Amino acid sequence: MNLELTEEQVALRDTARRFLAEKAPISGHVRALLDDETGTTDAVWRGLADLGTTGLLVPVECGGAGMTMVEAGIVAEELGAALHPGPWLSTAVAAPRTLTRIGADAAAASILTGIADGTTTATVGPLDDASIPAVDGGVLRGEIALPDAAAADVLLVFADGGGGTELFAVKSDSPGVSVTPERGIDQTRKHFRVAFDDVAAQPLAAPPAGAIAAVVDDVLIATAADALGAARAVMELAIEYAKVRAQFGQAIGSFQAIQHLCVDMYETVELARSGVIHALWAADNADAEERHLSALRAKAFAGRLATVGDTAIQVFGGIGFTWEHDAHLYLKRLLSWSALLGGPDRYLTELGRTLTKPKKKGCSA
Amino acid sequence: MQGKQENVDFSYPAEVEQFRVELRDWLSANLNDELIAARRPSGRDDATFAMLRTWNRNMADAGWAAVSWPREYGGRGATVLEQLVYTEETTRARTPLPLNVIGMNNIAPAIMQYGTESQKLTLLPRMMRADDIWCQGMSEPEAGSDLAALRTRAVRDDDDFVVNGQKIWTSLGHRADWCQLYVRTDPEAPKHTGISCLIVDMTLPGIEVRPLVTLNGDTDFAEIFFHDVRVPADALLGPLNGGWGVATTTLSHERAGAARLYAEMQVRLEELVDDFAAADDGSAHGVLQDPVTLRRLGEIAVRIKYLEVLCQRSISATLHGGSDLAAMGSVSLAKTVWGEIGQDMAALAFDVLGSRARRWADYRLTSRSLTIAGGTTQINKNITAQRVLGLPRT
């Protein structure tokens, strides 16, 4: 039982935090890329790779750090706190976890090496419930939802290869690939519809049973860490504001009404942090049932987490309602997490249903 | 990389799991249905009280009563993780709480720190065995959340303190043999610095106890009146006028006890789901087919799990030298979350099962105390805002 970060993990967190504050701040970087489809610049991506953050989950044999989801979560939290708009979750979490979970590390060694050294960006899909495209005669046909598709060099696509689901690699600049932005509520997240019109696709491997579900869990868990970072950051901004904003001759943070709003945010953030720590651990250490439950819980809690954005705007008052203030960007980040792959009601209901099923353990019948 | 060697780890060490097995075995051999049924204070009569006294003695004799205490006072000097596991297992087995739960958690740490050797050796083992019942005289009609405003006076007269005043909301006041009493000994000093702590024999002349009936008809607690009660001067616990320090001694002992917050809610949720399943007629309109009910169950379940991890984070910080402020903050936060979960569960149970499910209807009422007793949620939030978030005092 040890839930403390190691010295190395604290150093990783601090390094990522410092880099983002200096090289990818909200004012100069994030806001400039709100309408940019890639959400990143070569310089910033190179910087993230040089810090080792793109290769955290890449196996050591492929030039990565071979670390765990805990380290990935530490970086994801900082990226969320900085509202980072680049393709990090897709490239540094979804892609390597997909390739390692389905045992394609050898076939896709060059992709993994490129991710670790920062020369390759990638994305994975479809991860929603939609039907998958098909590969026939070596070419891919169909249309799917795919995050970060405009930035990605490699598209990793689950498709029906004729004998069941397989993972295929597609170069994003191949003829027949068309990428259409899907504008959501959150301009710091880049979502797309990608159509494949007879596109050359390289088969990598057929996922073993449960592997795709595990990848979806990984992505949800890492995104929960990102959302935690966003919630924490906007809460801290609101609390700092409450300490300096004076009305009626005193700091508004001295009023109980404001104090209780701040504690409500803190309670929600600390509960979310508890869930995220557990889920990051479960992603690598728990059995499939517990891992999936931890991902379900994180999604089920997303609606409550988004209230931190709402409450922060309430504490800021009028200034929090303006475009120039960053509060709305945080609220939107939290709302897009809440809406990702289905809203919280669906996950809360599903979580409730898991309680009503007979327990696996302790049942001798 | 060495990433996996030293990383976040939710598992308990093997020796702690061994401790869990020993305790579980003992409980399954000794705990019976009658005792389990008697665990709710609601409607507890004299015969039940006597049965629980015997049970407390049996637990004490087997070494399972006060595991966190040092061996010399009858405990086992259990480690923090063993205490955590103890709380988890006793709660999950539906073991009745010790009759002296307040004494053991809140009074004993102060006696251990401030008491004389003879007080420790005579009072503590008898408390653990429920030979003596203890109450804590803190709240007063004019001193609730503002505890330091207490007015009960103790005036030194020769070898005695003469006590006058009134205490209220005193759990077990009507059954107690001893009272840990907070009194004002220096009315001129600022309110926190004029308070002392006395250990008072409840049979002394001038003490009058009136049971208070709670909103559900129970008599869980009492008012205590003191009329010129002569308490021997050696009943003083801790320094004269140092009572506020005595009162806050307990805080550092509560970390592992926080496990009860989530373990209790886990047990309640299991019971609720079982009762829903029993009420489900299997039709399309069955209780457990209703997505709104399932959604509310999900909301409760996710928070219970997160409450568990919140408590584990506090324990981990204690064990591994994490931020103490965060650890303190999480215990206070955990209590707030626990109260909210309990009240939401009570509301869900009543909304679905109605008045016929008596136990849940009772909980619908008694769960109001979860956000009042031991410090209201609002006071808790004030403290968190000022001490953890650093917001200014009014």
Cis peptide before B190 (omega within 30 of 0): no
**CA-nearest residue of chain A to B307?**
A271
Distance, CA of A30 to CA of A47 (rounded, Å): 15
**CA-nearest residue of chain A to B289?**
A353
Query: Quick check: B348 contacting A, CB < 8 Å?
Result: no
C-alpha distance from A270 to closest chain B C-alpha (Å): 7
**What does the longest C-alpha to C-alpha distance in chain A come to?**
75
Distance, CA of B317 to CA of B330 (rounded, Å): 10
Q: Which of A330, A288, A298 is nearest to A225 (CA)?
A: A298
Task: Cite the beta strand spans of A116-222 per DSSP E.
Answer: 122-125, 134-136, 139-147, 154-160, 165-171, 177-181, 191-200, 202-205
From the CB of residue B163, how many other CB atoms can be counted at a distance below 10 Å?
24
Query: Quick check: B316 contacting A, CB < 8 Å?
Result: yes
| Per-residue pLDDT in tens (0 to 9) along chain A, 365 residues | 899 999 999 999 999 999 999 999 999 999 999 999 999 999 999 999 999 999 999 999 999 999 999 999 999 999 999 999 999 999 999 999 999 999 887 889 999 999 999 999 999 999 998 889 999 999 999 999 999 999 999 999 999 999 899 999 999 999 999 999 999 999 999 999 999 999 999 999 999 999 999 999 999 999 999 999 999 999 999 999 999 999 999 999 999 999 999 999 999 999 999 999 999 999 999 999 999 999 999 999 999 999 999 999 999 999 999 999 999 999 999 999 999 999 999 999 999 999 998 654 443 33
pLDDT tens, residue by residue, A317-351: 999 999 999 999 999 999 999 999 999 999 999 99
Distance, CA of A204 to CA of A95 (rounded, Å): 13
- C-alpha distances (whole Å) from B334 to each of A2, A202, B261 are 19, 51, 8
> Which residue from B8, B303, B333 is facing A2, i.e. has the nearest CB?
B8
> Which residue from A1, A301, A348 is facing B316, i.e. has the nearest CB?
A1
Nearest 5°: CA angle at B10, between B7 and B13? 95
Query: Quick check: B255 contacting A, CB < 8 Å?
Result: no
Q: Which of A227, A221, A147 is nearest to A189 (CA)?
A: A147
**CA-nearest residue of chain B to A59?**
B1
Q: Does B389 contact A345 at a Cβ distance shorter than 8 Å?
A: no
Distance, CA of B335 to CA of B180 (rounded, Å): 24
Q: Does A285 contact B391 at a Cβ distance shorter than 8 Å?
A: no
A334 close to A306: Cβ distance less than 8 angstroms: yes
DSSP B187-212: TTS-GGGSEEEEEEETTSTTEEEEEE
> Which residue from A266, A280, A352 is facing B389, i.e. has the nearest CB?
A266
- DSSP state letter for B391: P
Length of chain A: 365
- Which three-class secondary structure state does DSSP give residue B274? helix
Average pLDDT, chain B: 92
Q: Does B273 contact A270 at a Cβ distance shorter than 8 Å?
A: no
C-alpha distance from B325 to closest chain A C-alpha (Å): 13
Helix (H) / strand (E) containing B126: helix B117-128
Q: Which of B82, B89, B223, B254 is catalytic?
A: B254
Does the annotation mark B254 as catalytic?
yes
Q: Which residues have C-beta within 8 Å of that of residue B94, sequence separation ≥ 6?
A: B31, B36, B39, B267
A114 close to A171: Cβ distance less than 8 angstroms: no
Cα A6 off chain centre by? 23
Q: Does B306 contact A274 at a Cβ distance shorter than 8 Å?
A: yes
Phi, psi of A34 (to 5 degrees): -60, -35
Tell me the residues of chain B between 28 and 87 that have a Cβ less than 8 Å away from chain A: 81
Q: Does B12 contact A1 at a Cβ distance shorter than 8 Å?
A: yes
Tell me the CA end-to-end span of chain A in Å, nearest whole number. Answer: 33
**CA-nearest residue of chain A to B277?**
A356
- C-alpha distances (whole Å) from B196 to each of A259, B93, B138, B150, B157 are 32, 39, 11, 11, 15
Phi, psi of B184 (to 5 degrees): -90, 120
Global pTM reads 0.95
A337 close to A306: Cβ distance less than 8 angstroms: yes
Distance, CA of A288 to CA of A324 (rounded, Å): 44
From the CB of residue B72, how many other CB atoms can be counted at a distance below 10 Å?
12
**Segments of chain B with pLDDT less than 70:** 1-5, 250-255, 322-328
Interface test with B, best of A349, A350, A361, A363 (most B CBs within 10 A): A349
